[in-house]
Amino acid sequence: MGFAKYQEDNFSRYYAASIVRGREHDPFVAKGGSAEETRDTKKMEDKASKLKDFTVAEARPLPVIVMADVSGSMTVDGKIEALNLALKDMVAGFAAESRLRAEIQVGLITFGGERARVHLPLAPAHKISEVSPLRADGRTPMGAAFEEARKLIEDKDMIPSRAYRPVLVLVSDGLPTDDWEQPLDGLCKSERGQKATRFAMAIGADADVEMLRRFANDPESPVFKAHEARDIHRFFRAVTMSVTSRSRSTAPNSSAPLVLADIPEDDDLDLDF
């Protein structure tokens, strides 16, 4: 009797006649199909969870909320154009990195003219196809922006408690023109706002640096002073690196400081494409 015949004989005698507990992995026990096919099916079954109905389908978010000054003074010296470009690059950078350990989400609140408004509702970076360009005009209602940010950060539907600690970024080139102290305290001392990592950038000599210092809370990342348009880009590149390093980290809740590397005037390589 050959080996194959011997195996068949064993199978018909011992396995086909009764249920053998704890031998589900045994090719003889599995019904139908070849042993290899059964193993593949079993592997697929093992990989598919039976608990999908009870779990959330979205990854844990890492929210980044930018509060951007779009007052009239931002039209001078190409500041608003630089800001638009930097924001676009930041969102693209997040989109490329946003599916590692956490889903990076971006929201943009602007303040200019008479009010603050949500320019870009909080959304996963990889789903943001375009950030419409900001237009600068009018006064600097920064207090209204603080209030808008506080409402967003305290909204547990928008930012669930399973989210990693959010990042707040404030960018301004001037003095607030509305009542800002109370809203700033409201944001910085709110239950969840006080836990956010807050970065700030002062653009030009007219920015209210003292107020921005009160806003920023990361001792390793003091208020960044942008003297020219390209500094805006440097700052947002540092924010992008800080956030993406968190999303790669095994502890995405720990904050990462801004590292403002010197970026030469023309950083691109000389390539023909």
Residues 6+ apart with CB under 8 A from 22: none
Q: Which of 164, 199, 235, 236 binds other proteins (CB under 8 A)?
A: 164
Q: Which two tokens stand for residue 14?
A: 């011992």
Q: How far is CA 14 from the centre of its chain?
A: 58
Q: Which of 195, 227, 259, 263 binds other proteins (CB under 8 A)?
A: 195
Q: Distance between CA atoms of 135 and 112, rounded to whole angstroms?
A: 9
Residue 59 touching other proteins (CB under 8 A): yes
Q: Which of 3, 19, 47, 261 binds other proteins (CB under 8 A)?
A: 47
CB of 98 to other proteins, least distance (A): 10
Residue 220 touching other proteins (CB under 8 A): no
Hey, which residues between 7 and 46 contact other proteins (CB under 8 A)?
22, 46
Q: Which stretch binds other proteins (CB under 8 A): 58-66, 105-113, 173-181, 262-270?
A: 58-66
Of 177 and 253, which has the nearer Cβ to other proteins?
Answer: 253
Residue 53 touching other proteins (CB under 8 A): yes
Q: Which two tokens stand for residue 17?
A: 């006649």
Which element (helix H / strand E) includes 120? strand 115-124
CB 174 within 8 A of CB 145: no
Q: CB atoms < 10 A from the CB of 188, how many?
A: 18
Write the interaction track for other proteins spanning residues 77-116; mark x where CB under 8 A is met and - where it is not: ----------------------xxxxx-------------
Q: Which of 19, 132, 250, 271 binds other proteins (CB under 8 A)?
A: 250
Of 19 and 56, which has the nearer Cβ to other proteins?
Answer: 56
Q: Which two tokens stand for residue 191?
A: 């239950």
Q: Which of 107, 112, 166, 183 binds other proteins (CB under 8 A)?
A: 166
CB of 252 to other proteins, least distance (A): 8
Q: Which of 17, 19, 51, 205 binds other proteins (CB under 8 A)?
A: 51
CB of 265 to other proteins, least distance (A): 38
Cross-sheet strand order for the sheet of 115-124: 115-124, 103-112, 61-69, 167-172, 197-203, 224-226
From the list 1, 3, 7, 6, the residue with the least C-alpha distance to 35 is: 7
CB of 146 to other proteins, least distance (A): 20
Q: Which two tokens stand for residue 137?
A: 């005009």
Instruction: Calculate the CA dihedral of residues 223, 210, 120, 237 and round it to 10 degrees.
Output: -10
| Residue at token pair 């999303």 | 247
CB of 47 to other proteins, least distance (A): 5
Q: Exposed (0-12), middle (13-18) or buried (19+): which is 11, by Cβ within 10 Å?
A: middle
Q: Distance between CA atoms of 132 and 84, rounded to whole angstroms?
A: 9
Q: Which stretch binds other proteins (CB under 8 A): 32-40, 49-57, 140-148, 175-183?
A: 49-57
Interface residues toward other proteins, by CB under 8 A: 22, 46-60, 99-103, 161-166, 191-192, 195, 250-251, 253-254
